[in-house]
Amino acid sequence: MRNSVLLAGLLLLSSYSIAQDKPWRKGIITDEFIYDKANFPSVHSATIAETPTGLVSAFFGGTRERNPDVEIYVSRMVNGKWTAPVSVADGVQSADKRLPTWNPVLYQIPGGDLMLFYKIGPKPSEWWGMLKRSKDGGKTWSAAEKLPNNQIGPVKNKPILLSNGNLFAPSSTEGNGWHIHFEVTPDFGKTWRKIGPLDQGKDTIDAIQPSILTHGDGKLQILARSRSRALATAWSYDNGETWTPLEKTNLPNNNSGTDAVTMKNGKHVLVYNHVLPPGNLAKGPRTPLNVSLSKDGIHWKAALILEDSPISQYSYPSVIQTSDGLLHFVYTWRREKIKHVVVDPSKLKLKKIKNGEWPKLKGYTAPKPENVPAEE
């Protein structure tokens, strides 16, 4: 037994060393799947939160996206290992009607409940927002609440708690064009109001699924998925009450979900597919999956490549910084599994991104992506 434990430890150290020696992998501490086997073949749209009892992740799984059997599943980190996925929400409407669920988003209220936002509906243009709460770190959940007044809640990425006490949820709609808005609650989901939609700007940018960065003194920034072959951004200087028109950044976007977070030191982390679709297409392969850092939300430096196989897709990431300062990423791995990667931000080696191009690194050749996906 002792020899087996020693061998396992040596193998772990060896794999860690190899990971660190590979280009664009500096700073990675853990690289793992949340589960090995599940009772659903397809999975997507992961979210993660730190609770008083440990990490919790949620995602939707079923036969395939849009299928009525798609449910919301939760896994918890217990004693250093992820529990098997457990279904916590479904789209059953009646004995003979069932709809798919979509895009879970977790948020831990400081000193309070763990909130689980998700959507039910046949497609994104017709879904509605739902909410469940947990008082024990995701072990058990309350009955489902439908959000009032056609609220969706945070559409993909986590809400943030502002200094004025508002929980500020980044949201968007897809029914009549793509439009970004915000849903604001001063009492953690009891009452809501809406801000927006945002001005699409001079280029009439179709954008959805924003994430929020904080710059202090009421200054906020969003980064969002778009159909414009670039990430979109907008700024607020009054805690999100008003916003500048959308504009393109110099970072590419393949019409796939992204996420971002502002760290405790004020620097910003962005996780996204740094790849342009072929030709003039708006949509393309969801590989590689990259991480960049910025001091100001404008000028970005390359930090990591989480996945770079030519086999698409690696997508719909979520990122948080936990109380110990580490970064945790979860994301879709080929629609088959959910990946969890832990990063020490102090170990990252950064290189400038110039003209939107990922910097070249000696000994590293980016693979040519394959299998352009048709999914959402």
Residue-level pLDDT at 361: 83
Question: Could you tell me the CA-to-CA distances from 1 to 6, 10, 13 in Å, in that order?
Answer: 9, 14, 19
In the predicted structure, residue 7 carries a pLDDT above the cut 70: no
pLDDT band at 22 (very low <50, low <70, confident <90, very high): confident
Q: What is the rounded average pLDDT of the residues 273-283?
A: 94
Residue 323 belongs to some domain of the structure: yes
Residue-level pLDDT at 86: 98
Mean pLDDT, rounded, of the chain:
93
pLDDT in tens, 39-89: 999 999 999 999 999 999 999 999 999 999 999 999 999 999 999 999 999
Rg, the chain, Cα only: 20
Residue 7 belongs to some domain of the structure: no
CATH number at residue 310: 2.120.10.10
Residue 366 belongs to some domain of the structure: no
In the predicted structure, residue 6 carries a pLDDT above the cut 90: no
For 38, the token pair is: 């599940």
Residue 139 belongs to some domain of the structure: yes
Q: Mention every residue, 6+ apart, whose C-beta is less than 8 A from residue 198.
A: 179, 180, 181, 234, 243, 245, 246
Residue 199 belongs to some domain of the structure: yes
Domain that holds residue 109: 28-352
Residue 35 belongs to some domain of the structure: yes
Residue 22 belongs to some domain of the structure: no
Residue 15 belongs to some domain of the structure: no
Per the structure, how many domains does the chain have? 1
Quick one: what percent of the chain has pLDDT higher than 90? 88
